[in-house]
Amino acid sequence: MVIDGHNDLVLRRWRGEQARHVDLDAARDAGFAGGFFALYVPSPSPPGDPPDPPYAVPLAEPIDHEDAARVAGELYDVLCALPVRRATSVTDFAEGEITAIAHLEGAEAIAPDLSNLGDWYARGVRSIGVVWSRPNAFAEGVPFRFPGDPDTGPGLTEAGRALVRGCNELGILLDVSHLNERGFWDLAALTDRPLVATHSNAHALCASTRNLTDRQLDAIRDSGGVVGVNFAVSFLREDGLVRPADTGIDAIVRHVDYLVDRMGIDHVALGSDFDGAVIPAELGGVAGLPRLLAALSQRYDDAVAKISHENWLRVLAATWR
């Protein structure tokens, strides 16, 4: 059974595109039990795949709240039309079923005064990424740079601090993936829930701005949180290159091993970025998950269940009301 920290299937369906990685029929056969389904409002000019390193892609332009709320509503309707359950409790996950956590990737659909936060909660949103890699009313994301580190800009705004408190009160998970380092530390100082990065990797192994420093990993561990390992080739490889044919499952295992050594096995999970990133060709998509679990089982035996799903269930139980 695999619970996954991130996929962009909803965006693919909203655009009328064919899924690259998440075939729902194949997913059931592969033991994919769902996880975080992103409601991501795309920028008017998406950055595309990064060039060969070194590169420094600027932050995307901010997007208007009203436009974002409209598009996020359309994405939510697409999610509701998928043949999956929607999770508001950890008991909603079950073997042989696919269950979706409605996740806002970037909080632009939330009004800066939080006046519609309760409405999104009522619709079933249980996870919010404060930012994608662009600024909004709440914080600033990291630009895509390699090599680089996540200390790239200012921390949370006053609206961002209020968002943290509001999500804590309702029991909405806050995702620090895409958030810059100052924002991370502001959130860490405010929240009373475990710190979570749904789809990020170890900066020590791949010096992308999107990856987490050892200090950040330690803070996530100390909060009782979890990091979902991202399968994006450019966040896995030491050289930052986008070479899926030359990047194997072992690159994912390498980051899992590093995080387990640094944080302990209770704080490591999977966060594929299926349908939103270039992933190792050897994995292919959800159908390749059994091969990844087999590789991890050689190292972790039965404890691989913590990485595949148990750590996500623990953190969700500690976060949701």
pLDDT in tens, 160-208: 999 999 999 999 999 999 999 999 999 999 999 999 999 999 999 999 9
Cβ burial of 261 (10 Å; 0-12, 13-18, 19+) is exposed
19 DSSP assignment: P
**Mean pLDDT, residues 77-98:** 96
pLDDT band, residue 50 (cuts 50/70/90): confident
CATH number of the domain residue 284 falls in: 3.20.20.140
**Mean pLDDT, residues 17-43:** 96
Domain count, the chain: 1
Q: What is the pLDDT of residues 119-174, one digit of tens each?
A: 999 999 999 999 999 999 999 999 999 999 999 999 999 999 999 999 999 999 99
Cβ burial of 24 (10 Å; 0-12, 13-18, 19+) is middle
pLDDT at 44: 87
pLDDT at 3: 98
Range 134-161 burial, b when 16+ CB lie within 10 A, else e: bbbbbbbbbbbbbebebebbebbbebbb
pLDDT(4) > 80: yes
First to last CA, the chain: 24
Strand, coil or helix: 23: coil
Residues 6+ apart with CB under 8 A from 296: 253, 256, 304, 307, 308
Pairing mode of beta strands 55-57, 144-146:
antiparallel
pLDDT at 45: 77
Q: How far apart are CA 249 and CA 280, in angstroms?
A: 7
pLDDT band, residue 93 (cuts 50/70/90): very high
**Mean pLDDT, residues 296-303:** 97
Percent of the chain having pLDDT more than 90? 97
Contact (CB, 8 A) for 217 and 176:
no
**Closest by CA position to 142, among listed 197, 202, 210, 95:** 210
Residues 6+ apart with CB under 8 A from 141: 59, 106, 131, 132, 133, 134, 135, 178, 179, 180
pLDDT at 321: 83
Q: Residue 2: enclosing H or E segment and its boundaries?
A: strand 2-7
Q: Which domain holds residue 158?
A: 2-319
Q: Where are the alpha helices (DSSP H) in the chain?
A: 9-15, 24-29, 65-81, 117-123, 158-170, 181-190, 214-222, 233-236, 249-263, 289-300, 304-305, 311-319
Alpha carbon of residue 219 to chain centroid: 17
- Mean pLDDT, rounded, of the chain: 97
Strand, coil or helix: 4: strand
